[in-house]
Structure 1
Amino acid sequence: MTDSKLPSKIDQLVGQRLRWRRRELSLTQEQLGEKLSLTFQQVQKYEKGVNRISAGRLYEMSVALDVPVLYFFDGAEDYLAMPNQQLAEDSEPGPLPLMDHEAMELVAAFQQIRDETLRKSFLNTIKAAAASGKKNDDG
């Protein structure tokens, strides 16, 4: 049995998504902390998944970062299905990809698509294109 007060894999995912969105908006931890009346250290702990984020605080973050609350849970099923050894308890989630301006535009546009079927279709198309490019690089 796990202690429900300890951060879990979902807490790590939410923290990673928080960090990703903050970076996407080119905000520092200090700037986000000011928007939320937090210290940068608290933002840092949330981003690393060390501290759990309450429902109320998550809502405040979604407003401050101009995303729906569900943004923080995108990809949760895949993330939770990862083997535990890939997410050691004392390590932070894997590094986020460096995002250039074009990638940030792609993410922003993708997030505006409300039709779930269409979003999944685009995602599958992008994954197929990426896999095709990788095969060409390997062979």
Structure 2
Amino acid sequence: MANPIDLHVGRRLRQRRRFLGLTQQKLAEQVNIRFQQIQKYESGANRVSASRLWSLAKALQVPVSYFFEGLDDEAAAAGDVNGRNGCAAHACEDVFSNKETIDLVRAFYNLDEEPRRRLLDLAKAMSGE
């Protein structure tokens, strides 16, 4: 069974890779490994070494600390990475792990300021805010 911290790091890796629009293959090429290794990191099946984490952070243009953001020390020690009693790996997935969310955010920021504001207002109105 994968360690909760390894699962968290893997989710953050996948989230950032998708946000940048990179395939596992392209990211693997940037850090000189095979795409299967990226798959294993993202699933938490393999731990990411410190030197590899450094390479991945550089390739994904984030600080190493990015991979640990949202990780509560006490919850992690108890095996509860996101403070939700273990449901983070299943039903409580981070919203940014969803491909459609990443596509929506990318499209949103490609709009000019005025249409972006209008779209946000529309979304708020539709959600009842």
Shorter-normalised TM range: 0.5 to 0.7
CA–CA distance in structure 2, aligned partners of residues 59 and 82 of structure 1: 29
Pairing partner for 2:26 from 26, 31, 39: 31
TM-score (norm 2): 0.66
Kept after mapping to 1: 8 A contact 2:82/2:88: no
Compared with structure 1, are the counterparts of its residues 18 and 32 closer, same or farther at alpha carbon in structure 2 (3 Å cutoff)?
same
Q: How does 1:33-112 map to 2 (within 5 A)?
A: 33-77=28-72, 79-84=81-86, 86=87, 94=93, 96-97=97-98, 98=100, 99-100=102-103, 103-104=105-106
Aligned Cα root-mean-square deviation (Å): 3.1
Q: Which amino acid aligns with 2:19?
A: E
SS in structure 2 at match of 1:56? helix
Question: Unaligned regions of 5+ residues in structure 1, if any?
Answer: 1-5, 108-129
- Say if 1:105 and 1:65 are closer, same or farther in 2 by CA, change over 3 A: farther
* Superposition deviation, residue 80 in structure 1: 4.0
| 1:16-27 superposed matches below 5 A | 16-27=11-22
* Aligned match of 2:78: none
1:7: Cα distance to partner?
3.2
> How many aligned positions are there?
104
Tell me by how many angstroms 1:10 deviates: 1.0
1:22/1:32 contact within 8 Å kept: yes
Structure 2: runs of 5+ lacking an equivalent: 76-80, 110-123
Could you tell me how far apart the structure 2 residues matched to 1:100 and 1:61 are? 22
